[in-house]
Copies of this chain bind each other. A is one copy, B any other.
Amino acid sequence: MTRNQFSDGCAFVNGDYVPIAAAAIPILDMGFLRSDVTYDVVGVWNGQFFRLEDHLNRFEKSWNRLHMSPDISREGIRNALIECVRRAGLQHASVNMIMTRGISEKGNRDPRLFKNRFYAFAIPYVWLAGVDQQAQGVHLVIARQTIRTPTRAFDPAVKNFQWGDLTQGIYEAYERDGYTVVLPDADGNITEGPGFNVFAIKDQALRTPASGVLQGITRQTVLDLADEQGLSANASLLSADELRAADEIFLSSTAGGVIPVTTVDGQPVGNGNPGVITEKLRKRYWEAHDEERWTTSIDY
């Protein structure tokens, strides 16, 4: 029996499909040398994309914000994503789409003159926190040493690879026995963490930071599902103290869905177990992965 050469993942590079381990980008691509790039990640669950068009919409908005104009169509992008998953034969996948500034021609440094480049890859589904971990809940730390890059410097609504602040935050989390970290802004309000948004529940009402964060698709899904459940759910300012005083806290991410938080800075959230509303939303989140309104099937 021949092992599928794409089983560890399949990438779309320069118009070709290649095994993920062989996928590479030119060292001179400004997507690397200047992190002049935007990306998106969409999940595949049980052989179906979840909210693919929403991810494509955001991706397109992001590259427009960066003044990019790729010569691949939305259809071409969608087809490449589907084909990466199909070739890898993955039923559960994290599917990355990436648009870079590209490579300087003849020493040109004017970003307006670059030919932008599209890359994609599908790999086995990535968990920010696995199922077992989610059952227990994770330990969250509010960073003290690092703030999130402010919107006025770079708008996190443009999904980007500039994770220097978030990565430093991860080191701080580990130093302080946390599982992961959320960064405050310069005024001490909560923003987001490495790959996730944050929700606080107080007196049955959900709140998540309104600005200075990525407008997460999972975040939006939670807002949608909460609304359907008749729960109050709003995006607004959320101070660190308000987060600490929450009855329940969870993270939202395409890499794992709704992830309960059971301690903040070492102090228990509520009774120290994943919250009741959180668990209900987590269940609904995965159920929704079978619902036609949000899914796109793959013909393997």
Contacts and interface: CB of A to CB of B under 8 A. Distances in A.
A109 B255 CA distance: 12
A210 interface: no
Q: Which of A35, A149, A150, A171 gathers most chain B CB within 10 Å?
A: A35
A154 B161 contact: no
B33 A161 contact: yes
Nearest to A255: B109
A32 interface: yes
A11 B153 CA distance: 32
A154 B168 contact: yes
Interface stretch (A23-31, A71-79, A241-249, A261-269): A23-31
A162 interface: yes
A113 to B, nearest CB: 11
A152 interface: yes
A161 B35 contact: yes
Contacts of A25: 24-25, 27, 32
13 contacts: A23-B27, A24-B26, A24-B27, A27-B119, A35-B162, A35-B164, A36-B167, A101-B167, A111-B170, A112-B174, A146-B152, A149-B153, A153-B164
A149 B156 CA distance: 12
A62 B239 CA distance: 33
Interface of A: 11, 13, 20-21, 23-28, 31-36, 66-67, 98, 101, 107, 109-112, 119, 121, 124, 126, 128, 146-150, 152-154, 158, 160-168, 170-171, 174, 186
A28 B35 contact: no
Contacts of A26: 21, 23-24
Q: Which of A110, A121, A152, A158 gathers most chain B CB within 10 Å?
A: A152
Contact of A146 (B27, B128, B153): B153
A96 to B, nearest CB: 8
Given A24-B25, A163-B36, A165-B153, A171 B67 contact: yes
A128 B108 CA distance: 10
Contacts of A33: 161
A161 B32 contact: yes
A119 B11 CA distance: 22
A27 B97 CA distance: 12
Contacts of A126: 107
Contacts of A24: 24-27
